[in-house]
A and B are shown apart, each in its own frame.
Chain A
Amino acid sequence: MLTIKNLHAEVEGKKILKGINLEINKGEMHAIMGPNGSGKSSLASVLAGRDNYTVTEGEVWFNGKNLLDLSPEDRAREGVFLAFQYPVEIPGVSNLNFLKTALNEIRAYKGLPALEAREFLKLTKEKQQLVDFHSNLMNRSLNEGFSGGEKKRNEIFQLAMLDPQLAILDETDSGLDIDALRIVSSGVNKLRDAEKSFVVITHYQRLLEYIIPDFVHVLYNGRIIKTGTKELALELEERGYDWLKEELHLKESV
């Protein structure tokens, strides 16, 4: 579904990604871990098409399309969803109106008619329950005055509503207490199916106790330096990243 080949990117002339290779198939759950500044969030931004990142080398293919050629909105319409680490507040734009617009734009792209108001509301109710999102937040301005947990839950709720093929969760667990983390994770688990793939970017192993990944990748200094299964996450939790760094230096010096 998603193929990343030798991806290099920089921001303001600074090299951030230095040759990422990654293959994600339908229905898979990938976790990307790594120390601060390793390029985790940058990878998410590059995939979503944030324009202060410049791709200097490499390719990204999504369902046979060159993702890097597409505008951010077309990437979203093709089915790439980014759950932001810091969702913005947009005063005056109601959550409901925003979602309706987004959903219908995506539907129009796929050649589907706009949802009738009734169907839309029905869908909204259904997904709210699925991810335990308070309906009283629906009529408020987008993310404005939301607590950290509410913002993150809103991201997962949008994920449920927009039903993308690939969801990238950028440090969705940061700033959440254990209850909020449990709610968010259970929302994600309910949305898992054979068609949908996930990339979970996280700094902490604890999220992976709730969301069990098929693969764990360690990103360091702009490259994936190790890939394993969920056991790798546990090992990282116990031993930290230093042993990996040493291993890497050893390899490089050979």
Chain B
Amino acid sequence: MINSNEIIDDIANKEYEFGFTTDIEMDIAPPGLNEDIIRFISAKKNEPEWLLEWRLKGFAAFKKMEFPKWQHFEMPALDLQAVSYYAAPRKKKQLNSLDEVDPELLATFEKLGIPLNEQKALTGVAVDAVFDSVSVATTFKGKLKEMGVIFCSFGEAVQEHPELVKKYLGSVVPHTDNVFAALNSAVFSDGSFVYIPKGVRCPMELSTYFRINAQNTGQFERTLIIADDNSYVSYLEGCTAPMRDENQLHAAVVELVALEHAEIKYSTVQNWYPGDKDGKGGIYNFVTKRGICKGAASKISWTQVETGSAITWKYPSVILQGDHSEGEFYSVAVVRNKQIADTGTKIHHIGKGTKSRIISKGISAGHGDNSYRGLVSVGPRADNARNFTQCDSLLIGNQCGSHTFPYIESRNKSAMIEHEATTSKIGEDQIFYLNQRGIDSEKAVALIVNGYVKEVLNQLPMEFAVEAQKLLSITLEGSVG
């Protein structure tokens, strides 16, 4: 078991370990998006020719594509030529003590119960890493290596395991998939790479490690996870602590490949800066996440808790290609102030006996606008496919919006599909009942909301679930008038 101090050590050492700091002062590409920039990025990363070509194909596709129009919000004007597409990973401004950190941020950390050292690391305060940090990190990596698990930065994987990257890169999210995926393919900065060999059950959540990664991989990260036959991995992305970032647009791509009898569990807690009360600032989180259950009886499960970002636009999807494979999507999306979330999932049943389960819980408060958008499609070969979808919305206040846009397509008569959706508000009589038992309205809402999202939070690893629960309470503070 790795405790939180060790996590900090990891944070403290990671940059050093991968040598990010060495060229940090140089190399910032001029703003603009063109082939030269892409060649420059590729050269900087010392990439093989095939990867450069792949990036250029992505760029060619990007140029032909338009921004989507079907979403339930107005796409903000994005000036993609004003962005600099290569900057060596930014090192945060080092502060000398927590006294220099925004007190509001600290108050939130306090409420979330994030340990002091971790607070320091997250806010960029120099940590006195007097703990035996090097050995911890080594033990961590060493243990994985012993089992044959590859877990490294994307850039490192390109150098060390080109055959795996070449085989699977773009195999789930092709560079032509959508405009943001095409952009990512052309200019992706870095990200994570995971390979779990045959028959290996990854002994730890690959979470704590990533807590660090998330800070430095920039706005176009790329994640690729491959679980070989009979393997298992649980991967956690994100962090309950509020993440501030100067980049407004985040267009990440995540690809998951599960081979025969393999299982991938991917959990996300997203708490990017949502902008102020009037919706100014805030991150646009336009992510393409997709997994393929390639092998028979494989399983991919997405769990997400989305509380941040000004706009969240993501549809973690599963292609159920292997017979008897299984896909799951568990989601909690909270919007308040002027936040917008347009999120959901796509499940494609292709193989026989494939199963899927979708549980989506939307919570809208303030002037927030929350949409569930999902597709369940059953192909003609998918005999006896099963889907169950439950998609609930909870409204707090009368200025918010809540929408569900499911698409259901069945081409197989033996398939069984069930979809249920409800919308409700927190009832005054419920609040009064809890008041009468001595619980104030704020706590009452938290209690009801936690009950409402329990089914999703239960999917998260224990520690993470507790944090996520606190995060929800804090997010909804002051929502009940």
Which chain A residues have a beta carbon within 8 Å of chain B's beta carbons?
A: 48-51, 71-73, 75-77, 81-82, 84, 87-88, 90-94, 97-98, 101-102, 105-106, 109, 141, 158, 162
Contact = CB atoms under 8 A, between A and B. Distances in A.
Interface stretch (B197-205, B341-349, B373-381, B431-439): B431-439
A248 B477 CA distance: 53
A140 to B, nearest CB: 12
Given A90-B451, A92-B451, A84 B443 contact: no
Contacts of A94: 451
Contacts of A75: 436
Given A51-B428, A87-B433, A90-B434, 19 more contacts: A48-B436, A49-B435, A72-B432, A73-B440, A73-B441, A76-B437, A82-B436, A88-B430, A90-B430, A91-B451, A91-B452, A92-B451, A97-B447, A98-B437, A102-B437, A102-B438, A105-B439, A105-B440, A105-B443
Nearest to A94: B451
Contacts of B428: 51
B448 interface: yes
B427 interface: yes
Contacts of A109: 438
B430 A158 contact: no
Nearest to A107: B438
27 contacts: A49-B435, A49-B436, A50-B432, A73-B434, A73-B435, A75-B436, A76-B436, A77-B438, A84-B436, A88-B433, A90-B430, A92-B451, A92-B452, A93-B447, A93-B450, A93-B451, A94-B451, A97-B447, A97-B451, A98-B434, A98-B447, A101-B439, A101-B447, A102-B434, A105-B439, A109-B438, A141-B451
List the 3 closest pairs (A to B, CB-CB), nearest first.
A92-B451, A72-B435, A93-B451
Nearest to B424: A91
Interface centre among A50, A75, A92, A109 (most CB of B within 10 A): A92
Contacts of A72: 432, 435-436
Nearest to B361: A92
A51 B428 CA distance: 10
A91 B448 CA distance: 8
Interface residues of B, number: 21
A90 B448 contact: yes
B295 to A, nearest CB: 36
A73 B452 contact: no
B79 interface: no
Contacts of A102: 434, 437-439
A101 B446 CA distance: 11
What's the dominant secondary structure at chain B's contact region?
A: helix
Interface of B: 427-430, 432-441, 443, 447-448, 450-452, 454
Contacts of B437: 73, 76, 98, 102, 158, 162
A93 B436 CA distance: 16
Contacts of A73: 434-441
A129 to B, nearest CB: 21
Contacts of B435: 49, 71-73, 76
Contacts of B429: 88
Contact of A162 (B438, B440, B450, B452): B438
A141 B454 CA distance: 12
Contacts of B434: 73, 90, 98, 102
Contacts of B430: 88, 90
Contacts of A158: 437
Contacts of A49: 435-436
Interface centre among A77, A90, A91, A109 (most CB of B within 10 A): A90
A98 B451 CA distance: 10
Contacts of B448: 90, 92-93
Nearest to A105: B438
B453 to A, nearest CB: 8
A62 to B, nearest CB: 14
Contacts of A88: 427, 429-430, 433
B432 A51 contact: yes
Nearest to A86: B429
Contacts of A93: 447-448, 450-451
A5 B433 CA distance: 26
Nearest to B451: A92
A97 B428 CA distance: 20
A87 B436 CA distance: 11
Nearest to A158: B437
A112 B429 CA distance: 29
Interface centre among B432, B433, B438, B443 (most CB of A within 10 A): B438
A105 B427 CA distance: 21
B7 to A, nearest CB: 27
Contacts of A76: 435-438
B340 to A, nearest CB: 26
Contacts of B450: 92-93
A76 B438 CA distance: 5
Contacts of A106: 438
A237 B224 CA distance: 78
B459 to A, nearest CB: 15
Interface centre among A71, A76, A77, A141 (most CB of B within 10 A): A76
B127 to A, nearest CB: 32
Contacts of B439: 73, 101-102, 105
